[in-house]
């Protein structure tokens, strides 16, 4: 992969930061004041005027700064330009919409840049706690402009992990329930935050030691992958093989625990789903 120059990455990192802060201002404005909450076809997959407004704000900023040959994939408005472009932006204006609608303060704007399919830049902004995470290949990773690194935890028994449950969890046995229970017994705890961008950002800054999840979209993870890697962590497929960012599942850790978590994931059998008709 041919990386963009350091000067280009710095310029685009600044543009993405401006876009994330603009989107975050929209989310702050609508916090606790929503008038419309709609489902996008799957139970629990919500969208609000805050999502749409935040995306419009981010896109307006990026539209002023980005070269026209860049492609954009945004959660609410879809593809803008060439999705096969060498440089592709993945934008989630509000990761954690369900949390946001309930005023549960775990949500974020996520803006990532992929170069030839590999995440090389990420900005994640938590507008409720005003935490700004930034990273670009070779430029380091920061939280509120201060350098961050992944944790040094090297024993599962001393670790704190996080995961999530996809919208199709009611229909498939491949749903993380068994994994959640299993790792709960092996670690100091497993959290379920409800926003993949925050989960990845917290691994990057050492608040969490590892994260795995399935059912993820590119806009959920592109920025966070760049953050974790630039903070010294490791991101792969569950089995430790190179990550396919379109596969919908990943394992992100501080590196020290990667082998142990990957091995354990390969040993866990799924739980049988209860019949919804009997509930």
What phi and psi, each to the nearest 5 degrees, are found at residue 242? Answer: -55, 140
Annotated binding residue 75: yes
Q: CA angle at residue 34 from 29 to 36, to 5 degrees?
A: 135
Annotated binding residue 220: yes
Annotated binding residue 38: no
Annotated binding residue 244: no
User: Which residue stretches of the chain are H helix?
Assistant: 6-30, 49-65, 97-101, 177-186, 196-204, 218-230, 258-265
Q: Residue 44 half-sphere exposure, CB side, CA atoms within 13 Å?
A: 9
Q: Name 16's Cβ contacts closer than 8 Å, sequence gap at least 6.
A: 62, 89, 111, 113, 121, 122, 123, 134
Annotated binding residue 92: yes
Task: State the binding site for Mg(2+).
Answer: 75, 92, 94-95, 220
Task: State the binding site.
Answer: 75, 92, 94-95, 220
């Amino acid at each position: 992969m041919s990386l963009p120059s350091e000067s280009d990455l710095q310029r685009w990192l600044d543009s993405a930061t401006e876009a994330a802060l603009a989107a975050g201002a929209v989310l702050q404005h609508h916090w606790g004041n929503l008038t419309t909450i709609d489902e996008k076809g799957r139970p629990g997959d919500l969208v609000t005027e805050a999502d749409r407004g935040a995306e419009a704000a981010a896109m307006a900023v990026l539209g002023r700064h980005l070269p026209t040959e860049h492609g954009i994939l945004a959660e609410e408005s879809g593809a803008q330009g060439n999705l096969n472009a060498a440089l592709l932006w993945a934008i989630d204006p509000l990761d954690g919409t369900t949390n946001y609608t309930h005023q549960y303060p775990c949500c974020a704007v996520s803006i990532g840049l992929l170069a030839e399919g590999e995440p090389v830049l990420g900005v994640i902004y938590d507008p409720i706690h005003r935490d700004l995470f930034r990273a670009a290949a070779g430029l380091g990773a920061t939280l509120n402009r201060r350098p961050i690194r992944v944790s040094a935890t090297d024993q599962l028994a001393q670790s704190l992990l996080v995961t999530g449950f996809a919208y199709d969890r009611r229909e498939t046995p491949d749903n993380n329930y068994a994994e959640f229970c299993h790792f709960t017994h092996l670690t100091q705890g497993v959290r379920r935050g409800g926003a993949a961008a925050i989960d990845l950002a917290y691994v990057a800054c050492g608040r969490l030691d590892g994260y795995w999840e399935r059912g993820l979209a590119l806009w959920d993870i592109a920025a966070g992958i760049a953050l974790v890697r630039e903070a010294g962590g490791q991101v792969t497929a569950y089995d430790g093989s190179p990550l396919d960012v379109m596969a919908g599942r990943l394992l992100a850790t501080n590196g020290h625990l990667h082998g142990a978590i990957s091995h354990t994931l390969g040993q866990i059998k799924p739980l049988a789903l209860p019949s919804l008709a009997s509930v």
